[in-house]
Amino acid sequence: MIIFLLVAMGLYVAFSRLRRVYRGEPVEDELSKKILQKASSLSFYISLYLWVAMIYIKDRVTVDTEVLLGSGILGMAIIWVILVIYFKVRGLKDA
């Protein structure tokens, strides 16, 4: 289900960029760049806490290393997508 959501988000971004190109609009404007920059920087800090929590869980529960790494990378992607959607809906107050 999570992989389906990530693929759906990728398709949405691709189609929205194609629509902008057909309309003659720029693919990325300043607001889009700022939203991506803010979401990326905040998702980096949140991902650090995600990895600390996963290391804590790894010490308490027996988890395969590949599963732990895959879950961490997938978690980072999900955090980024959620923040991009959040900032697109909410907007940037300090932009």
Tell me: the pLDDT tens digits for 52-80?
999 898 888 888 888 888 889 889 988 98
Domain count, the chain: 1
The pTM (predicted TM-score) of the whole model is 0.74
CA distance 54 to 74: 13
In a domain, 34, yes or no: yes
In a domain, 37, yes or no: yes
* Domain of 76, in residue numbers: 29-90
In a domain, 20, yes or no: no
Contact predicate 80/43, CB 8 Å: yes
In a domain, 1, yes or no: no
In a domain, 33, yes or no: yes
In a domain, 9, yes or no: no
In a domain, 12, yes or no: no
In a domain, 6, yes or no: no
Tell me: the pLDDT tens digits for 18-46?
888 888 877 778 888 898 899 999 999 99
Could you give the count of Cα atoms lying within 13 Å of 25 in the half-sphere of its Cβ? 11
